[in-house]
């Protein structure tokens, strides 16, 4: 067990030691002067009177004074550390909205300013590094779109048995690049603290399922949508939520055998679930898959294995989470309040 040094305890011990040493010195001084004052008395009688005087006029007042001094001292110490506790609460409350967060130093004691200033400077450097990384990813994604578009056009003119498969791979790469660009836009909007829009989960699910249904049916599988009577609205980016749902449906279609069905449901609460006929994912396996470059049966054999990682990142940007129910063989997008 690691021993934690407590500043409060050290201050209390220091004040207690100062009080004890001061009291002993005061008693010694009083005893010395009382002995001089009672020099004409017998030794025993002088000592007795000196002790009585010290008890009545020194020891008793010190004991009576120690209680309020200790109480006030502890209160002052706790009040001195209150700004640090408040700063810790503010940092915890900013979970999920760390970009642009800085510790308020207006109420900090001067002794704590070097530490808080250093933390704020570190946060600034981290934000700058994140912005540079996002800008680089967006630039790379944008530059890759043009050659992929040209490649797709060239494949349209190619009369070869493998042309269809290659076009499918190129289309998958373009979707991945579009999703990466979307993530960069979400991060930029979060950093700029732009107000999110109201998004109807029912409308998003209806649009995505309607768009993907013809392609799913063409593969010999079916898809069904259950929306319920209640409309669920969340705050966020509509296109990002739609991209996350498309990824889940694509994964579900991939693991569903021919003749199987994919079920999409909205609710209960602010959530969208996608259930398939695959083996399901355990929570531990899902945590492994959302890590970058992880792969499994839910990942495309020819893809980058980023599908569920992108979904998890989109949900984190919305303050939600990607959840799994292995018994129901269902993955769900769960938003705050679900």
Q: CA-CA distance, 134 to 190, in Å (whole number)? A: 12
Q: How confident is the model at residue 305 (pLDDT cuts 50, 70, 90)?
A: very low
What pLDDT shows up at residue 251? 84
Q: Do the domain assignments include residue 106?
A: no
Query: Rounded to whole angstroms, how far apart are CA atoms 80 and 71?
Result: 14
Residue 320 has pLDDT above 80, yes or no: yes
Structural contact between residues 262 and 252, judged by C-beta atoms closer than 8 angstroms: yes
pLDDT in tens, 228-283: 777 788 888 888 888 889 888 888 888 888 888 889 998 888 888 998 877 777 78
- Look at residues 8, 11, 18 and name the one whose alpha carbon lies nearest to residue 66: 18
Q: Is the Cα torsion angle 284, 289, 293, 296 positive or negative in sign?
A: positive
Q: Name the domain boundary from 171, 194, 217.
A: 194
Q: Name residues whose C-beta falls within 8 Å of residue 260's C-beta, 6 or more positions apart in sequence.
A: 221, 222, 276, 277
Report, as an integer, the average pLDDT of 173-195: 66
> Is residue 100 assigned to a domain?
no
Distance CA 320, CA 177 (A): 23
Q: 203 with 313, same domain? A: yes
> Could you tell me if residue 322 is inside a domain?
yes
In this structure, are 201 and 174 located in the same domain?
no
Question: 154 and 39, same structural domain?
Answer: no
Radius of gyration of the chain (CA): 35
Confidence of residue 188 (pLDDT cuts 50, 70, 90): low
CATH number at residue 161: 1.10.287.130
For residues 83 and 145, membership in a common domain is answered with no
> Tokens 């006029």 appear where?
57
**Encoding tokens for residue 216?**
């799913």
- Residue 307: which domain range? 195-338
Helix axes 43-54, 7-37, angle to 10 degrees: 140
One domain, residues 306 and 217: yes
- Clarify whether residues 229 and 308 are in a common domain: yes
H/E segment holding residue 180? helix 163-191
Judge whether 306 and 317 are in contact, CB under 8 Å: no
In the listed set 179, 194, 209, which residue is the last one of a domain according to the structure?
194
The answer to whether residue 132 sits within a structural domain is yes
Same domain, 172 and 208: no
Q: What is the pLDDT of residue 122?
A: 87
> For residues 200-222, b (16+ Cβ closer than 10 Å) or e, as one string?
bbbbbbeebbeebbeebeeeebe
Same domain, 333 and 210: yes
Domain with 239 in it: what CATH number?
3.30.565.10
CA separation for the pair 274, 266 (Å, rounded): 9
% of residues, the chain, pLDDT over 90: 0
Same-domain status, 199 and 278: yes
108 domain-assigned: no
Same domain, yes or no: 77 and 188: no
325: left (phi over 0), alpha (psi -120 to 50) or beta: beta
Count: domains in the chain: 3
The tokens for 287 are: 């945590």
- Residue whose token pair is 């996350």: 244
pLDDT score for 299: 45
pTM of the model: 0.54
For residues 39 and 153, what is the distance between their CA atoms, to the nearest angstrom? Answer: 117
Is residue 2 a part of any domain in this protein? no
User: Both 232 and 331 in a single domain?
Assistant: yes
Final residue of a structural domain among 62, 93, 124: 93
Residue 297: pLDDT band with limits 50, 70, 90: very low
**Is the per-residue pLDDT at 321 higher than 80?**
yes
Residue that has been written with the tokens 């960069």 in this structure: 184
- Number of CB atoms found within 10 A of residue 164's CB: 11
**Residue-level pLDDT at 300:** 45
71 with 157, same domain: the answer is no
Mean pLDDT over all residues of the chain? Answer: 76
Residue-level pLDDT at 96: 61
- Rounded to a whole number of angstroms, the distance between the first and last alpha carbons of the chain is 38
* Contact status, residue 290 vs residue 271, Cβ threshold 8 Å: no
Domain membership flag for residue 242: yes
Is 105 a member of any domain? Answer: no
Residue with tokens 């700029």: 192
């Amino acid at each position: 067990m690691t021993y934690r040094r407590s500043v409060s305890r050290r201050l209390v011990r220091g004040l207690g030691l100062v009080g004890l040493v001061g009291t002993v010195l005061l008693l010694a001084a009083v005893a010395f002067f009382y002995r001089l004052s009672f020099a004409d008395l017998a030794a025993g009688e002088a000592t007795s009177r000196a002790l009585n005087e010290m008890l009545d006029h020194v020891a008793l007042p010190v004991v009576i004074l120690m209680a309020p001094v200790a109480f006030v001292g502890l209160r002052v110490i706790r009040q001195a550390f209150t700004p640090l506790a408040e700063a810790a609460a503010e940092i915890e409350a900013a979970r999920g909205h760390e970009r642009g967060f800085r510790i308020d130093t207006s109420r900090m004691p001067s002794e704590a300013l070097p530490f808080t200033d250093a933390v704020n400077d570190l946060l600034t450097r981290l934000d700058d590094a994140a912005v540079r990384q996002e800008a680089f990813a967006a630039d790379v994604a944008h530059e890759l779109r043009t050659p992929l578009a040209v490649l797709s056009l060239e494949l349209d003119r190619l009369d070869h048995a493998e042309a269809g498969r290659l076009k499918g791979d190129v289309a998958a790469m373009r979707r991945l690049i579009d999703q990466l660009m979307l993530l960069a836009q979400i991060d930029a909007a979060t950093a700029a603290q732009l107000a999110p829009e109201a998004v109807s989960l029912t409308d998003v699910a209806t649009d995505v399922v309607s768009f993907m249904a013809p392609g799913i049916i063409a593969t010999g599988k079916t898809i069904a949508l259950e929306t319920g009577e209640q409309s669920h609205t969340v705050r966020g980016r509509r296109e990002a939520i739609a991209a996350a749902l498309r990824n889940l449906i694509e994964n579900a279609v991939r693991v569903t055998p021919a003749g199987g069905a994919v079920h999409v449901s909205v609710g209960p609460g602010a959530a969208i679930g996608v259930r398939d006929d695959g083996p399901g994912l355990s929570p531990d396996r899902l945590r492994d898959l959302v890590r970058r470059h992880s792969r499994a049966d839910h990942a495309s054999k020819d893809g980058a294995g980023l599908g569920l990682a992108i979904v998890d990142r989109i949900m984190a940007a919305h303050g939600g989470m990607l959840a799994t129910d292995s018994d129901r063989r269902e993955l769900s997008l769960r938003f705050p309040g679900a």
